[in-house]
Amino acid sequence: MNNAFIKLGNTDLETLAAYLRSGRVAAPYTSLQLTRILPTGLSSEVLDGLVYYDSLGFSAAQIATVLELVEQDRKNGRTDELPIDLVTSGPEAPGITNRDTSVVVRELFAHARQSVLVVGYAVYQGQRVFEALAKRMEENPDLDVNFFLNISRPDRDETSSEIIISQFKQRFKQTQWPGNCRLPNVYYDPRSVADDAPVRSSLHAKCIVVDLEHVFVSSANFTEAGQQRNIEVGLNIKSEWLAERLVKHFLHLQAEGLLVKAF
């Protein structure tokens, strides 16, 4: 039994099922058919799954039905279970299947309707990590997106804080944000770049809140390593109460001037 389909988010399940039914993905299945519609890290495993079911005599329409049943079962769920998913990055142990960090993050961004709060310590390979969010912001001009990020000062660096912020802004726009898409509002802790070394600190929290309903709290940074390779653990929680508390916490820090806007 191949478990690759279980690792896909609902959006990817729907997309793959639609492509199978339309004939845009068809036997003999190839990686080229999948890399255009699925995350790179999962396309090879999904290809193995398609080949597996094809070897059993499943038609493309029948495989699509399998995908739709997986999605429907996930949506129905069991009423006695808490609305919490374990999400992990890194190597997989045999017999254990958890939601994948990069897939969950991509799905949260792709489904955002009203608001997105992103809090992160380190951001690298951001153009890949935030691709779905940038696309969603272009599709929905009213989507309110706020980032709270750490801006660090290297040890023994005596550059003025204004220059460090300016360099961060330029680097974020040029290397961490996809293309010329609309930018999020970005805030930071001024203590992290303070000219007075004894008062420096880090904005070390890592979480995402979407539509005041979905909360993802993780040890993973917004990097390729954190999202895919490192051993990381997170919780994806559906809770309006928790989402509201988290958003209020960071907006309150911003309102009190403890977190300030970079751009």
For the chain, which residues make up each domain, given as ranges?
Answer: 4-79, 99-261
Which residues of the chain are modeled with pLDDT < 50?
A: 1, 79-80
Amino acid at 100: D
User: Quick one: pLDDT at residue 38?
Assistant: 80
User: Quick one: pLDDT at residue 73?
Assistant: 82
Least Cα distance to 7 among 50, 43, 58 occurs for 43
Task: Quote the Cα angle for 180-224-33, to 5°.
Answer: 75
Domain 99-261 class in CATH: alpha beta
User: Quick one: pLDDT at residue 35?
Assistant: 81
Residue 236: strand pairing partners: 85, 216
Least Cα distance to 30 among 11, 50, 13, 12 occurs for 50
Least Cα distance to 8 among 53, 35, 46 occurs for 46
User: Quick one: pLDDT at residue 1?
Assistant: 47
Amino acid at 180: N
User: Quick one: pLDDT at residue 5?
Assistant: 83
Name residues whose C-beta falls within 8 Å of residue 260's C-beta, 6 or more positions apart in sequence.
Answer: 187, 188, 190, 254
Name residues whose C-beta falls within 8 Å of residue 31's C-beta, 6 or more positions apart in sequence.
Answer: 43, 44, 47
Count the Cβ atoms, other than its own, within 10 Å of residue 238: 13
Q: What sign does the dihedral 107-85-243-124 (CA atoms) show? A: negative
User: Quick one: pLDDT at residue 96?
Assistant: 64
Residue 64 is encoded by which pair of tokens? 């699509």
User: How far is it, in rounded angstroms, from Cα 17 to Cα 213?
Assistant: 27
User: Quick one: pLDDT at residue 41?
Assistant: 66
User: Quick one: pLDDT at residue 45?
Assistant: 83
User: Quick one: pLDDT at residue 197?
Assistant: 67
CA 98 → CA 86, 110, 149, 215, distances in Å?
A: 6, 20, 27, 17
User: Quick one: pLDDT at residue 102?
Assistant: 87
